[in-house]
Structure 1
Amino acid sequence: MSPSSSSSSRKGTPSPSPSARSLKPVALVVGASRGIGRQVAIDLAKNGYAVVVAAKSITPISVLTQINPFPPDPKSNLSTITTVAREIQLMGGEASAFPVDTTSYSSIQLLINMTIQQYGRIDVVVYNSGAIWWGPVATTPMKRFQLMQRVNVEGLYGVVQEALPHLKRTGRGRIVVVCPPIYNRFFRGKTAYAIGKVGMSVFVQGLAMDFVREGKDMGIVGIWPAVAIESAATEQFTKKDPMHARELRKPEIFSDAILAMLEAPLGEINGKLELDEDFLRRVKGVQDFDKYSVVPGSRPRRIMPVILPDLTVAEQDDEGMRADSSKL
C-alpha cells in the first residue's frame, strides 16, 4: 500500500480489515531514513517485527531501480524510507515506507492512520526524528530554534498522543525516545538544542508517571549514546579528519540496546533515561564493546558522564491538590 492510495480519514481511526492485520508485532520507527534510525528499523525487522519506516525522504520507484550498488550508503541522501523498507523486504522482512513531516500534526495523524489501515496495530514506537543546531544563543537564529522545538518536542508529543490508543489496545505498548539524561553540562554551547532534547526527556518521565497511575503494562524509555555513533551528523567531522572515526561506534549498539529495552521487564525501563552502553552492561551483562568500534582496535572516548544526577525528591509521592484540566 502506498501513502497516496490511503483512504483513511484524519477525523477517525480506520478499522482495518482482517487481511490487513499483521501476525507480527508492529514497530513504527520515526526518523528511519538514515544512520541510527535505519539500523534500528532493520534490526527490528530481523527480530520479528513488521516495521513502518517513517521520515520525510522518499525515493521514486524509477530512481530506486537505478541505485547501484544497493543498498546505498546509509549516511548519504540516497538512503530514504523507500530504500530502507526495500532493504528489509529483500532480506525477507516485512516493512512499509510511509512519509511524515513531524512539524505537521495533520501529517502525523495521517501516518498513524496509514499504519493502522495497513497493519491493524502498533506495538512499539521509536522516535528518532530530530533537528540539530549546536551553538550559543546569540548565534542560533529564531527559525532554527523553532524548527528544533517543532521536530523534537512537538513531533514527539504528536506521534505518541496519536499512537497511544493503539498501543494501549495491544495491552503492552512500548515507546523508545532518543533523548538524553538530564544534567547541566549538556546545556553548554547548545542551549537551544538542549531545550528541545531535554523537553523530550521530561516527556518520557511525565508519561511514565501517567502509565503508573493507569496501572497498565505500558512503558516509555529514553536512550542516548554513551559514545558518539557513526551517522550523517558525525560524518562532517570524519570528512574533515578521518582520524575522528576512531572516536565512533557503529549504530548497531543503539539498536541492540533498544531491542534489549523491548525485552526488559517494565520496571527496568519505564521513565528511565538510559545510555546505550550502560543499559546493555547492566541488563544484558555485556562487557566487551569492541565489536561496536568503527575502527577495529580503537577505544572511542566516552562523551557522557559515568554518574548522572538523580532527579527524584524525598516528597516524590506527594501530589498535593492534583488537577486535570480536561475535567475541570
Structure 2
Amino acid sequence: MTSNKPVALVIGASRGIGRQISIDLARNGYAVVVAAKTTSDASTTTPFPPDPNSPQSTINTVEREIRESGGDATAIVVDTRDVSQINNLFAETVRIYGKLDVLVYNSGAIWWSSVENTPVKRFQLMQRINPEGLYASVQAALPYFKKNAWKGRVIVVSPPIYSRFFRGKTAYAMGKVGMSVLTKGLAMDFVRQGRTNMAITSIWPAASIESAATGSMVKNDPASEKDLRKPTIFSDAILAMLKAPAESVNGLLDLDEDFLRNRCGVTDFSKYSVVSGATPRRIMPAEFPTLEVAEQDDEGKRMDSTQLRAGREKL
C-alpha cells in the first residue's frame, strides 16, 4: 500500500543530527524510515527518551519517540559498509510505504588528524561509510525515484569545497569532499537528463552543533559549550531545502545558517544557541570559491563507458 504521506529515508538516524532530522520530518507530515547500525529494545529504555547524544539513543528509540508523538516511523537496521544491506533497506522502505520521496544521507565516520597519524584502516573505514555508503545509497534510490516519475530529493551531509577544510583532517576531507563532488555530478546528470523534479543538495553546519562528537569536546573544555548550536538549525534548513523548488537547490553546497538567512529571511539565530545569550563561533568561511570555469559547457566529445562497453560486446 502506498503511503498518503511523503516518505523520507534517513540513514544515520540513531542520535544527534540524524535523530533531530527524523523527528522534525515526522512533525512536518513525513512517514520516516530511520536507519542505522545501532539497535536496542526501546520498550525497556529508561529514562525515556534517552539523551539524544548518548549510545542509549538508537533507531528504535527514535522510532518510539516519533510514534508516541503521533508520527509515522519505521526503524530498519543497516550497515552502510554492506551494499546488500543498503539495497535491502531501500526495498523494505518501498515495500512498507509504497514509494520513496526523500533520501537523507547522514551516516558518517570521523577521524580528524594528520595523514601521518591516520592509519590506513581508519582511512578505509571512513571511505566505506562516507562516500562509498552514499554512492551505494544513491544507486539503490534511483530506480525507486524512477518509479515515482523521477520526482524526489536527496540531501547529503557534506561541505562546500574549499582549501581550509583539508587542513589537519585530510583523510576525512577526502571522503567528505568526494560526497560533495557526487552532489555536483549527479545534479548535472539530472539537468542533462531533463529530470526537473529531482534535486540533490549538500548541507553542512556553519557553527558546531551539539552532538556526541562535540560532547567529548565540551568534557575537555566546558567553556566551549557556548560555541554550540542545537541540531534544530540543521533540520530547519533541510526542511526549507525540501520545500524550495528543485531547480533552485539542485547541486547546491550550502550551510544551514546561510540557507536560512539567504533563502528564508532568518536574521535571528539566538534560539539555536545551546547556551542562552551566546553567539556560537562560525567555523566555516564567510564566502566560498565558485567551482565553475569560463568554459563550463565546453567539455568536448563526451565519453560514456557504458556505451563503449556495449559496443565492444557487439563485436
Q: What TM-score, normalized to structure 2? A: 0.96
What secondary structure does 2:104 align onto? strand
**Counterpart in 2 of 1:36?**
17
Any gaps of 5 or more consecutive residues in structure 1? Answer: 1-19
Aligned partners of 1:228 and 1:95: how far apart in 2? 28
Matched, 1:310 2:286: no
Question: Which residue of structure 1 aligns with residue 217 of structure 2?
Answer: 237
Which position in structure 2 is the counterpart of 1:182?
Answer: 161
- Quick one: which amino acid aligns to residue 84 of structure 1? V
Determine which of 189, 192, 196 is the counterpart of 2:175.
196
Deviation of the 1:306 alpha carbon: 0.3
User: What is the CA distance between 1:266 and its match in structure 2?
Assistant: 1.9
Match of 2:94 in 1: 116
Question: In 1, distance between residues paired with 2:222 and 2:115?
Answer: 30
Partner of residue 81, structure 2: 103
Distance (Å, rounded) in 1 between the aligned partners of 2:255 and 2:198:
21
Deviation sequence 1:236-277 (CA, Å, 0-9, x none):
011112221100000000000000000001232100100000
Partner SS state of residue 201, structure 2: strand
Instruction: Decide whether the 8 Å contact of 1:168 with 1:218 is kept in 2.
Output: no
Deviation of the 1:220 alpha carbon: 0.2
1:139 corresponds to which of 111, 117, 134: 117
Q: Which residue of 2 aligns with 1:210?
A: 189
The 1-side partners of 2:44 and 2:143 are apart by 40
1:168: Cα distance to partner? Answer: 2.9
Partner Cα distance (1:65, 1:271) in 2? 41
Partner of 1:13: none
Counterpart among 138, 152, 156 of residue 160 in structure 1: 138
Deviation at 1:51, TM superposition (A): 0.2
Percent identity of equivalent pairs: 64
Determine if contact 1:179/1:222 at 8 Å carries over to the other structure: yes
Structure 2 equivalent of residue 264 of structure 1: 244
CA RMSD, 1 decimal:
0.8
SS of 1:315 mapped into structure 2: coil
CA distance in 2, matches of 1:273, 1:168: 24
Trace 1:16-35 onto structure 2 (pairs within 5 A).
Answer: 20-35=1-16
1:173 to 133, 148, 152: 152
For the pair 1:52 / 2:52, whether they are aligned, the reply is no
Aligned residue type for 1:321: K
Instruction: State whether residues 128 and 177 of structure 1, in contact with CA within 8 Å, keep that contact through their aligned partners in structure 2.
Output: yes
Find the partner of 1:325 among 294, 305, 311.
305
Counterpart secondary structure, 1:287: coil
The one of 270, 276, 279 equivalent to 1:299 is 279
Contact 1:218/1:266 (CA < 8 Å) preserved in 2? Answer: yes
- 1:6 is matched with none
Q: Structure 2, unaligned stretches of length 5 or more?
A: 309-315
**Contact map agreement 1:59 1:82 (CA 8 A) in 2:** yes
How far did 1:74 drift?
Answer: 0.3
Where 2:279 maps in the other structure, the secondary structure is: coil
Structure 2 CA distance, aligned partners of 1:56 and 1:48? 25
Matched, 1:126 2:104: yes
State the 4+ residue runs in structure 1 displaced beyond 6 angstroms: none
Write the letter of the residue equivalent to 1:228: S
Between 234-243 and 28-37, the greater mean CA deviation after superposition: 234-243
Where does 1:76-87 land on structure 2 (aligned, <5 Å)?
76-87=54-65
Q: How many residues align?
A: 306
> How far off is 1:319 after superposition?
2.1
Match of 2:259, as an amino acid?
Answer: F
2:203 counterpart SS class: strand
Query: How far did 1:166 drift?
Result: 1.1
- Separation in structure 2 between the aligned mates of residue 110 and residue 215 of structure 1, nearest angstrom: 29
SS at match of 1:167: helix
Q: Which residue of 2 aligns with 1:251?
A: 231
